[in-house]
Amino acid sequence: MARKKKDPAAPKKTRWYHNVAQAYRMAYETDKALPWWMAAAMVATIAVGLVIGLLTGQTVYFLIIGVLFSTIAGMAVLARRAEQAAYARIEGQPGAALSALKTIRRGWTFGEEPESEGGEVLDLMDALRRSIEKNKPQKGRAKKTASKTSKKASPKKATAKKTTAKKAPAKKSAVKKTA
């Protein structure tokens, strides 16, 4: 089988560790205490694992678990600090509120209209209020959909057979009488 030749114009894949390094550099620009916070979280997690290991008598096992969890703790600190650095970087710029609101998931939509085309610069709370008003269901529309569903459900109620519930036999008590 012949291998397919790679397209030289195709962008090179970014590895996960390159993304972590880039996030660290970006966060370190605004937060010089980042390495200390990450180290503190990692050391504290290893210490907790060591203490639990000493208490249970399985020091090596819990030390290994502590080292693994310390990596997770360090990455969690990095993620939180990188997010704060990203928001600090865009603060005060036009469109900052929109970019911050776009990080919200679960069906929220926000209109994009550049300032040069008649759009206006909004603060975060104003943009959020407008989005809520835009996504809120209309009262008249909600009543119409409710009446449609009740019409569909009513024929089913008429054709459904009535069933009577049967009582389950009572269980005999297992209490022994002592005389």
Residue 53 lies in a domain: yes
Structure confidence at residue 159 (pLDDT)? 47
Structure confidence at residue 5 (pLDDT)? 75
Cβ-based burial of 26 (10 A; exposed 0-12, middle 13-18, buried ≥19): middle
Q: Which two tokens stand for residue 177?
A: 């009488």
Same domain, 65 and 101: no
Region 159-163 average pLDDT: 49
Same domain, 23 and 82: yes
Same domain, 79 and 99: no
Residue 4 lies in a domain: no
Same domain, 100 and 34: no
Dist. CA 85–CA 73, nearest whole Å: 18
Is the pLDDT higher at 12 or at 104?
12
Dist. CA 75–CA 27, nearest whole Å: 12
Looking up tokens 């519930």 gives: 165
Same domain, 27 and 86: yes
Is the pLDDT higher at 150 or at 41?
41
Residue 177 lies in a domain: no
Residue 66 lies in a domain: yes
Same domain, 133 and 73: no
Same domain, 19 and 75: yes
Same domain, 60 and 79: yes
- Give percent of the chain with pLDDT exceeding 70: 60
State the residue range of the domain holding 98: 94-106+123-137
Same domain, 84 and 130: no
Q: What is the pTM of this model?
A: 0.54
pLDDT in tens, 31-89: 899 999 999 999 999 999 999 999 999 999 999 999 999 999 999 999 999 988 888 88
Residue 28 lies in a domain: yes
Structure confidence at residue 86 (pLDDT)? 85
Region 94-108 average pLDDT: 69
In the chain, the number of structural domains is: 2
Is the pLDDT higher at 101 or at 16?
16
Same domain, 67 and 127: no
Residue 5 lies in a domain: no
Give the chain's mean pLDDT.
75
Q: Which of 13-17, 19-23, 117-121, 133-137 has the lowest mean pLDDT?
A: 117-121
Q: Binning pLDDT at 50, 70 and 90, where does residue 123 land? A: low
Same domain, 19 and 78: yes
Residue 165 lies in a domain: no
Residue 166 lies in a domain: no
Dist. CA 10–CA 16, nearest whole Å: 18
